[in-house]
Structure 1
Amino acid sequence: MNIEDLYWRQANRRLLAKSLAELCYEQALVPSPGKDGVCRVSLKSGVDYRFRARLTIWDWLYIDVASLERVYNGRAAPAEDAAQFFIDAAANLEASPATLGNLLQELANSLVADVTLLQKQKGLDAGTLAQLPDEQLQCLLDGHPKAMVNKGRIGWGAQEFDAYGTESAKGVRLLWLAVRRELTVSGKGDGWDWPQLLAESLNKEECRQLDWVARQKGIDWQTFLPLPVHPWQWQHHIRQHYAQPISRGDLVFLGEFGDAYLPQVSLRTLSNLSRPQALHLKLPLTVLNTSCYRGIPGKYTRCGPALSAWMQQLCQRDAELSARGTCVMQEVAGVQVPQMHQEQIDGGPYRYRELLGATWRQSPASLCAPDERHLLMAALLQRDEGGNSVAAALIRASALSAQEWLEHLFDATVVPLYHLLSRYGIGLVAHAQNITLVLRADRVVRVLLKDFQGDLRLAQGDFPDRADLPPEALAALDQLPPSHIFHDLFTGHFVTVLRYLSAQLMAETGLHELDFYGVLARVLRRYQNAAVLQDPQMTQRFHQFNLFRQYVERVCINRVRLRQGYDDSAARPVPIIGGKLHNPLWLAEQRQRTQDSNEPETLSPAEATL
């Protein structure tokens, strides 16, 4: 067996194990537990999948990848073909032939990227990964653990994966356009002008060269704005969809200029390769990846700078947020160019309304003190080839116990998110790619928040503390019932991040999941008690956003794609609600009450099942 085949089999086993675990969690498949932790999933096709697993506190299977077997006609063989698994499970998943075919394309793309990552991760242990610069580490991350096929990138071929994919770790030089101002929707923060924004990407000599090219083409910067565009987006979408304004001279191609940019784990977010403190750029890439097309919605462009500035001011004036050093990676400017014909179609595909634009955002490096470093929270979940995680490596390096380290983490991250939710009715979809940790001596000391374009929402109701929210932001942001916004924290962070972290730390350090969530419960109760002492009305808010209720709705994202398919839609996919979950915070507090009363301890539902 050659080395390429070994990597291919390994990538398939890992993706298959993740898919099995997520589909069982989302109740699309039903596992049958047996003896010694052996589970079986029986499919309508007559195929069984068998594996060893531990059922976690979240009713989620932590699967031993090496144990996976496919059983057919009484014969068992190693399960090393993820595509075959989806074919075997198609009837159970209620996937149409068209959906299944497109899913297999996403799967193939993801596997090729995963193989590249396995090759690049070879020989890097968790301790080494934990000390890498954030930008470099992001190019080695496996990506969203909740999305089955998280590197689908439909629309890209092998050349694009190699040139522009995160795992390629290659610098990308951007193309620059001049756009007539009246065609744009734009906004910028105080203290920023367009020459300053250009200087974040171009040195003085290149700025002069760009300006010379612009003058040669008759561009007057009083009537035009500079706009960067990803070379792939220009080649595959902008030249065609914007041919009319190009032919009229309203959209002018200037050429390739400036610093090289490194694609981060979110693919369309780019960090300056030579100047880490320079602004990040977020550019549309019309590829289908992790459930939706990666464009930039125009409705947030005008209000983005004002909204992020308001959020930063809130972090500074609010005592809870200020005490924890909570900070915002501000969106200092944004430009969006609507496609004039697509905008006239009511209910047309959303991807055609998000083709051309840019967001300039502060880099985490610019917000860190000399003795601090930044780390994307997704990095905590990354494991080396021996199964050891970056989180456990940081705990060891910090000289703290796992519980002490987690207390720092929760106080710096979860408390600010919960405070924003309960005090201001602001929900942030705080998955691990939206949260940047700031570390000092390998301990988490504070958090940087970002990505408010669609991932910041408001709870309906009377929240006087957000009365000074900029009107343009209030008009653009979605407002939903508190019961929906609750899930921005609970599902967006607890289920999407902590579910994996608690299982991993139990496997590595032996920290019981009930102890993990016991730490989180104590941190949150300490915050609640202090908040109620200062303002008794917060009791009602904590009841409204009750993180300690016994059961919580199970939110499913993978079933959405299986049900909806790959047809164009006017809006991004909406999750499906499954059966109820036992809340780990409630379970942890129940155990503590039992211990305090000296009653016999009962098993959690997960422990009782296996």
Structure 2
Amino acid sequence: MRLTLEPLDADRDAALLHQWVTHPRSVYWEMQDATVAEVASEYRLIEENPHHHAWLGRVDGAPAFLAETYDPAHSELAGLPELRPGDTGMHVLVAPTDTPVHGFTRRVFAAVVEHCFADPAVRRVVVEPDARNDRIRALNREFGFRELRTITLPTKEAALSVLTNPKIKGSHLTPENLAIAQRHLVIKAISEYAHERLLTPAADGELWAVTTPAGDTTYTFAAERLALDHWAIDAASVVRTVKDEPADLDVQELVAELAEVLGIPDALLPTYLEELAATLASACWKLQHSTATVEDLLSADYQAIEAAMTEGHPGFVANNGRVGFGADDYAAYAPETGSTVRLHWLAARREHTRLSLGEGMTAPYDVQLLVDHGLDPEEYALVPVHPWQWDNKIAITFAPDLGRRDLVHLGEGSDDYRAQQSIRTFFNTTDPTAPYVKTALSIQNMGFMRGLSPRYMAATPAINDWVHDLVTGDPTLQGCGFTVLRERAAIGYTGDAYHRLAGRSAHQKMIAALWRESPIPALADGERLASMAALLHRDADGRSLAAAMIEDSPLDARAWVRSCLDAYLLPVAHCLLAHNLAFMPHGENLVLVLRDQVPVRAIMKDVGEEVAVMGDQPMPEDVERIRVEVDPDIKALALHTDVFDGVLRHLAAILHVDGVLDEGDFWAEVAGCLRRHADEHPGLADAAAAYDFFRPTFRHSCLNRLQLRNTLEMVDIADQSQSLIYAGTLDNPIA
């Protein structure tokens, strides 16, 4: 028996529907006395309604049932306090028959529920059967619907009921998935902690061993030590023994066992363990639901690649914390779920709002929305907010501001968005050429409470304009196609009690947003996008996307790496030498433009928050915030730490371990890229000597040490260089 659903054709199907909805058994459909014309008219209205859809169900090709799906927020249920983002409504009518088949209704019901949850944005299905319809209420309960209460609708008393998406109710948390996730994260923990010299594996014959301070637990493994003290551990080789007995791998137990040598404060250990648990939960979800192979990603668009990423930050062990999200929040908002999100709009009184605009920019929102809600655009500005932020923070934490109407909630917007890997930055799928929106989001993730400061962002558009003008005015950068995505507008609300306090707090970073240019309009024919992070991705079978790109490209491995470095490394190094300008060019801050699977140019983003000028050149007053004073030997870490150790170390290891390109050849290409730049820019010889990219060693700046020291706020954003922690030096692989 094959069940399918297709969009209903009101004109074609009106006569058939009339037979179904006027049948005595369909009394609760409330169309007993309708004519064929009235049925057709009713379903034409549904066809024209963007928030309501009708579906004809077939069994083995024959019409057999009717289904409707709708957005409860745009229905007679609108305004009910029980409704949540991600809800979809459902109606089902099985064709009346004199020869019922046992179990058929349940088969149809299951098919329609599955159809609803096929949309990754759907978190719950909502139904409102007539409270007198005991039969359908019993069927709903059988399928797991939870009756919330009886509500009064225009034509009936209804039993409001909800069914949570089974994907988010722990189905991914299986022993099989957990074992895979634990092994992966334990390996990453040992590798990165050893890289940062928190652990010192001891040689044990052909293996390596890590023994806990208590001496009763040992981890043994096979590994290859690569450049930059990178530990490439053989996943299958890792064995844990406790008191000489084999034991399961468990990253939380590993951290607890090693807490003394990791140096994490006792008070913060539970928070770090919670972030590890959340990272494991995310990994299990991806193992269960992320099915994209590297072959799929070779032709995928930018957002499909973003949703397929499974690792998170390559260096941080606890990298998918997202502390604050519940299970249904994860399904609705995590980038790997590919869920569609609609942002909410707040009207904020202008006297309490900082709106900064880039050169030539007007307000990046439709002021008509204010007018439609009876608000004066001269008195109010608009702030987009994350739906989780509205539900969990703003509606309660800023209740006085809402009561004063200093803030006015206008509901969700009409455009569909999808989250980038950075969680709180959204790509507009309704109009891909429209700006990204970066929102505040008060969840704890990877060493920070993720908010946005209105004070800090006030200069963001001006900084972006200045960096953009510098980049577009540099012939070398233009020659290699390097560009930046400008953050063109920033807004933040400061009228709350928290901003009247002398000290600074996360509460001052809860209502703010910025708009960033989309890279889509700048693409030429035959070009597509992928973040730098995508080059470090492996699919569920462990296959490398970078290796697949090389194999599918017209270039050999060395030539492919050379093109990648010319697109990425060369402009980053040039900005340092020519302008003392440092970016934060890690995986998610940089977008690669691909042609025939080859990276041909790079686009930098997150400019306002993560750019620094380390020299004394003149700058406009409103850009001075990005000037930093650092020691000369720290300047080159903008290349050595952020590029070599933060990105290229991982890419070199992937290509080496997979037999695609020996690490010696990889680093030879890195050296060659920088030497070609030096040969072509003799006028920068003094700067090159000062930065000394080819020095024998450089200071080993460590990321996990920062998070372990203070998992709540690992660095001071306003003075990041003074927060760094070092672990000796690393041998420079291009020296």
Kindly state the Cα deviation for residue 337 of structure 1 after the two structures are TM-superposed.
Answer: 1.5
Give the AA of the match of 1:450.
K
Q: Does 1:278 align with 2:434?
A: yes
Is the CA contact 2:448–2:713 (under 8 Å) kept in the aligned structure 1?
Answer: no
Q: Does 1:297 align with 2:456?
A: no
Q: Given the alignment, which residue of 128, 136, 150 partners 2:319?
A: 150
SS of structure 2 residue aligned to 1:259: coil
Is the CA contact 2:447–2:712 (under 8 Å) kept in the aligned structure 1?
Answer: no
Correspondence for 1:503: 653
Structure 1 residues 381 and 343, CA gap change in structure 2 (3 angstroms): same
SS of structure 2 residue aligned to 1:54: strand
Question: Equivalents in 2 of 1:49, 1:190: separation in Å?
Answer: 57
Structure 1 residues 568 and 457, CA gap change in structure 2 (3 angstroms): closer
Q: Does 1:395 align with 2:395?
A: no
Q: Does 1:542 align with 2:697?
A: no
Kindly state the Cα deviation for residue 571 of structure 1 after the two structures are TM-superposed.
Answer: 5.5
Q: Does 1:43 align with 2:212?
A: yes
Question: Equivalents in 1 of 2:501, 2:689: separation in Å?
Answer: 43
TM-score by length of 2: 0.73
Identical-residue share of aligned pairs (%): 31
Question: Equivalents in 2 of 1:169, 1:275: separation in Å?
Answer: 17
Question: What is the 5 A alignment of 1:348-427?
Answer: 348-349=504-505, 351-427=506-582
Question: Equivalents in 2 of 1:11, 1:30: separation in Å?
Answer: 24
Correspondence for 2:356: 187
Task: String of CA shifts for 1:153-185, please: whole Å, max 9, x gaps.
Answer: 112221211111112211111111111222122
Question: Equivalents in 1 of 2:601, 2:660: separation in Å?
Answer: 26
Q: Does 1:336 align with 2:492?
A: yes
Q: Does 1:112 align with 2:266?
A: no
Give the AA of the match of 2:497.
H
Q: Does 1:5 align with 2:175?
A: yes
More helix by share: 1
SS of structure 1 residue aligned to 2:607: coil
Which stretch of the first structure deviates more once superposed, 88-97 or 352-361? 88-97
Is the CA contact 1:214–1:254 (under 8 Å) kept in the aligned structure 2?
Answer: yes
Correspondence for 1:240: 396
Kindly state the Cα deviation for residue 8 of structure 1 after the two structures are TM-superposed.
Answer: 1.1
Is the CA contact 1:348–1:570 (under 8 Å) kept in the aligned structure 2?
Answer: no
Question: Equivalents in 2 of 1:336, 1:393: separation in Å?
Answer: 43
Correspondence for 1:198: 365
Question: Equivalents in 2 of 1:115, 1:96: separation in Å?
Answer: 28
SS of structure 1 residue aligned to 2:342: strand
Where structure 1 has 5 or more consecutive residues not aligned to the other structure, the ranges are: 200-206, 587-610
Question: Equivalents in 2 of 1:115, 1:34: separation in Å?
Answer: 32
Correspondence for 2:386: 230
Kindly state the Cα deviation for residue 491 of structure 1 after the two structures are TM-superposed.
Answer: 1.0
Is the CA contact 2:486–2:607 (under 8 Å) kept in the aligned structure 1?
Answer: no
How many residues matched? 559
Kindly state the Cα deviation for residue 562 of structure 1 after the two structures are TM-superposed.
Answer: 2.1
Q: Given the alignment, which residue of 75, 81, 92 partners 2:250?
A: 81
Is the CA contact 1:127–1:394 (under 8 Å) kept in the aligned structure 2?
Answer: no
Kindly state the Cα deviation for residue 56 of structure 1 after the two structures are TM-superposed.
Answer: 0.9
SS of structure 2 residue aligned to 1:139: helix
Task: String of CA shifts for 1:193-215, please: whole Å, max 9, x gaps.
Answer: 22xx225xxxxxxx85x345421
Kindly state the Cα deviation for residue 244 of structure 1 after the two structures are TM-superposed.
Answer: 3.2
Which stretch of the first structure deviates more once superposed, 293-302 or 442-451? 293-302
Is the CA contact 1:179–1:251 (under 8 Å) kept in the aligned structure 2?
Answer: yes
Task: String of CA shifts for 1:122-146, please: whole Å, max 9, x gaps.
Answer: 4x33222232111111112121010
Is the CA contact 1:427–1:486 (under 8 Å) kept in the aligned structure 2?
Answer: no
Is the CA contact 1:126–1:383 (under 8 Å) kept in the aligned structure 2?
Answer: yes
Is the CA contact 2:613–2:626 (under 8 Å) kept in the aligned structure 1?
Answer: no
SS of structure 2 residue aligned to 1:258: coil
Instruction: Choose between structure 1 and 2 for higher RCO, CA contacts under 8 A separated by at least 6 residues.
Output: 1
Q: Does 1:512 align with 2:654?
A: no
Question: Equivalents in 1 of 2:699, 2:396: separation in Å?
Answer: 44
Task: String of CA shifts for 1:40-74, please: whole Å, max 9, x gaps.
Answer: 01111221111111111111211112221111222
Question: What is the 5 A alignment of 1:156-195?
Answer: 156-194=325-363
Q: Given the alignment, which residue of 694, 705, 711 partners 1:559?
A: 705
Question: What is the 5 A alignment of 1:578-589?
Answer: 578-586=727-735
SS of structure 2 residue aligned to 1:539: helix
Kindly state the Cα deviation for residue 482 of structure 1 after the two structures are TM-superposed.
Answer: 4.1
Task: String of CA shifts for 1:94-138, please: whole Å, max 9, x gaps.
Answer: 33433221111111111111111122334x332222321111111
Kindly state the Cα deviation for residue 348 of structure 1 after the two structures are TM-superposed.
Answer: 3.3
SS of structure 2 residue aligned to 1:71: strand
Is the CA contact 1:176–1:256 (under 8 Å) kept in the aligned structure 2?
Answer: yes
Is the CA contact 2:612–2:626 (under 8 Å) kept in the aligned structure 1?
Answer: no
Is the CA contact 1:187–1:334 (under 8 Å) kept in the aligned structure 2?
Answer: yes
Correspondence for 2:77: none
Question: Equivalents in 1 of 2:269, 2:173: separation in Å?
Answer: 29
Give the AA of the match of 2:689.
H
Q: Does 1:129 align with 2:297?
A: yes
Structure 1 residues 515 and 299, CA gap change in structure 2 (3 angstroms): farther
Correspondence for 1:525: 675
RMSD of aligned Cα (Å)? 2.1
Is the CA contact 1:116–1:167 (under 8 Å) kept in the aligned structure 2?
Answer: no
Question: Equivalents in 2 of 1:198, 1:565: separation in Å?
Answer: 36
Which stretch of the first structure deviates more once superposed, 478-487 or 263-272? 478-487
SS of structure 1 residue aligned to 2:661: coil
Question: Equivalents in 2 of 1:170, 1:99: separation in Å?
Answer: 32
Structure 1 residues 545 and 299, CA gap change in structure 2 (3 angstroms): farther
Kindly state the Cα deviation for residue 228 of structure 1 after the two structures are TM-superposed.
Answer: 0.8
Correspondence for 2:91: none
Is the CA contact 1:48–1:72 (under 8 Å) kept in the aligned structure 2?
Answer: yes
Correspondence for 2:616: 462
Give the AA of the match of 2:691.
F
Question: Equivalents in 1 of 2:651, 2:178: separation in Å?
Answer: 26
Task: String of CA shifts for 1:496-517, please: whole Å, max 9, x gaps.
Answer: 1111000000111342212101
Query: Computing the radius of gyration over CA atoms, which structure comes out larger, 1 or 2?
Result: 2
Q: Does 1:29 align with 2:219?
A: no
Correspondence for 2:158: none
Give the AA of the match of 2:647.
V
Is the CA contact 2:354–2:458 (under 8 Å) kept in the aligned structure 1?
Answer: yes
Correspondence for 2:602: 447
SS of structure 1 residue aligned to 2:208: strand
Correspondence for 1:598: none
Question: Equivalents in 2 of 1:542, 1:25: separation in Å?
Answer: 28
Which stretch of the first structure deviates more once superposed, 413-422 or 561-570? 561-570
SS of structure 2 residue aligned to 1:560: helix
Question: Equivalents in 1 of 2:359, 2:264: separation in Å?
Answer: 50
Structure 1 residues 492 and 345, CA gap change in structure 2 (3 angstroms): farther
Question: Equivalents in 1 of 2:499, 2:634: separation in Å?
Answer: 29
Is the CA contact 1:23–1:558 (under 8 Å) kept in the aligned structure 2?
Answer: yes
SS of structure 2 residue aligned to 1:92: helix
Is the CA contact 1:15–1:82 (under 8 Å) kept in the aligned structure 2?
Answer: yes
SS of structure 1 residue aligned to 2:692: coil
Is the CA contact 1:383–1:390 (under 8 Å) kept in the aligned structure 2?
Answer: yes
SS of structure 2 residue aligned to 1:186: strand
Q: Does 1:438 align with 2:605?
A: no
SS of structure 2 residue aligned to 1:48: strand
Kindly state the Cα deviation for residue 3 of structure 1 after the two structures are TM-superposed.
Answer: 8.9
Kindly state the Cα deviation for residue 345 of structure 1 after the two structures are TM-superposed.
Answer: 4.0
Which stretch of the first structure deviates more once superposed, 542-551 or 82-91? 82-91
Correspondence for 2:118: none
Kindly state the Cα deviation for residue 479 of structure 1 after the two structures are TM-superposed.
Answer: 4.2
TM-score by length of 1: 0.87
Where structure 2 has 5 or more consecutive residues not aligned to the other structure, the ranges are: 1-171
Question: Equivalents in 2 of 1:192, 1:140: separation in Å?
Answer: 34
Give the AA of the match of 1:19.
A
Correspondence for 2:64: none
Question: Equivalents in 2 of 1:406, 1:346: separation in Å?
Answer: 51
